[in-house]
Amino acid sequence: MHFQWYPGHMTKAKRQMQEDIKLIDLVIELVDARIPLSSRNPDIDELGKQKARLILMNKADLANEEQTRKWSEYFRNKGFYVVKLDARSKAGMKSINDVIMEACKEKIERDRRRGIKNRPVRAMVVGIPNVGKSTFINTYAGKACAKTGNKPGVTKGKQWIRLNKNVELLDTPGILWPKFEDQSVGLRLALIGSIKDEILNIDELSLELIRIIQKNYPGILKARYEVEEEREAVEVLEQIARNRNCVQKGNELDYSKAALLVIDEFRSGRLGKITLEFPEG
């Protein structure tokens, strides 16, 4: 299964980020806790190398807790601040302000020495499509947020969102790199829904997911679908179709319906807390 996706607006978004990065103190990057590395844009490290960095591991409620702990450690060892959260339920949101202040304490101290008081931290929120960037901004900002409009020295049209007296956000489009060097990255992105389902082979995608679960989470498929999960993935999918009454005209098994069921139940967390990739070492 080959993954390739090249939307032209991604290049434009990257150029825009190169301009915007000069205006901010902190890069807040959202990743999907189920695929923390594959859901990162490799360009962001280069773009934000002189800035304070905060990684938000979103959708942590859907990921394996032990693996999320290991990933948090992995990123902290590389110099990032890390918060795990579920932006929809607001779990983890309360700690973010304190972490932002900690991440930017050098900048705040520099301002203080220069006699600048109470200048808010300016942050940029970035992330690839479907990691929950808009949900995070809306939850964090709440209804009370004020859009501060254009500022002196800031290009007309930039959207600044005043979160509180300490933090302003520059809203940016989520960006994804234009091609996948590693096809396993494309597979993981497809599984979490960052690539449009319409351009994917859902049957093949579900077989890949079944193989990942068989290898890393034995017992889950058997418990959920009453299948013999030691079999080949295609046989497991056949059993799921039979056990869940996925049939089409002529009483034939509807493999596509079963495939979609498995993927939907993974994405919604009904299969359990599943992380698809693991930190090195």
Per DSSP, helices labelled H in 142-182 are none
Domain-located, residue 23: yes
Q: Going by C-beta distance under 8 Å and a sequence separation of 6 or more, which residues neighbour residue 189?
A: 3, 35, 38, 39, 128, 176, 180, 195
Which pLDDT value is given to residue 61? 94
Assess if residue 97 is contained within a domain. Answer: yes
Residues facing residue 84 across a β-bridge? 57
Q: Which amino acid is at 160?
A: W
Q: Nearest Cα to 7, choosing from 160, 129, 91?
A: 129
For residues 15 and 103, membership in a common domain is answered with yes
Based on the domain organization, do 163 and 55 belong to the same domain? yes
**Same structural domain, 104 and 236:** no
Looking up residue 38, the CATH number of its domain turns out to be 3.40.50.300
Residue 105 has what pLDDT? 94
- How far does the chain reach from its first CA to its final CA, in angstroms? 28
- Mark whether 135 and 14 lie in a shared domain: yes
- Reported pTM: 0.88
Instruction: Look at residue 158 in the predicted model and tell me its pLDDT.
Output: 67
pLDDT, tens digit, 9 for 90 and up, residues 224-235? 999 999 999 999
Read off the tokens for 56: 């938000």
Residues 110 and 151 in one domain: yes
Q: For residues 160 and 207, state if they share a domain.
A: no
Q: How confident is the model at residue 27 (pLDDT cuts 50, 70, 90)?
A: very high
CATH number, position 262 = 1.10.1580.10
In a domain, residue 140? The reply is yes
Residue that terminates a domain, selected from 124, 156, 171: 171
- The more confident residue out of 129 and 256 is 256
Residue 158: phi and psi, rounded to 5, are: -70, 140
Whether residue 48 sits in one domain with residue 162? yes
Q: Same domain for 140 and 232?
A: no
Residue 93 within any structural domain of the chain: yes
Question: Do residues 146 and 222 both lie within one domain?
Answer: no
- The answer to the question of residue 1 being in a domain is no
Contact (Cβ atoms closer than 8 angstroms) between residue 31 and residue 130: no
Tell me if 182 is assigned to some domain: no
> Do 159 and 222 lie in a common domain?
no
Say whether pLDDT at 88 is over 60: yes
pLDDT of residue 93: 82
For residues 53 and 145, membership in a common domain is answered with yes
Domain membership flag for residue 73: yes
Tell me how far apart the alpha carbons of residues 49 and 135 are, in angstroms, rounded to a whole number.
26
The domain total for the chain is 2
The average confidence (pLDDT) of the chain is 86
| Domain end position, chosen among 150, 171, 192 | 171
> 105 is written with which tokens?
């304490």
Q: What is the mean pLDDT of residues 72-88?
A: 93
* Domain housing 227: 201-267
pLDDT in tens, 110-157: 999 999 988 899 999 888 877 888 888 888 877 545 454 444 434 445
Q: Tell me if 2 is assigned to some domain.
A: no
One domain, residues 14 and 135: yes
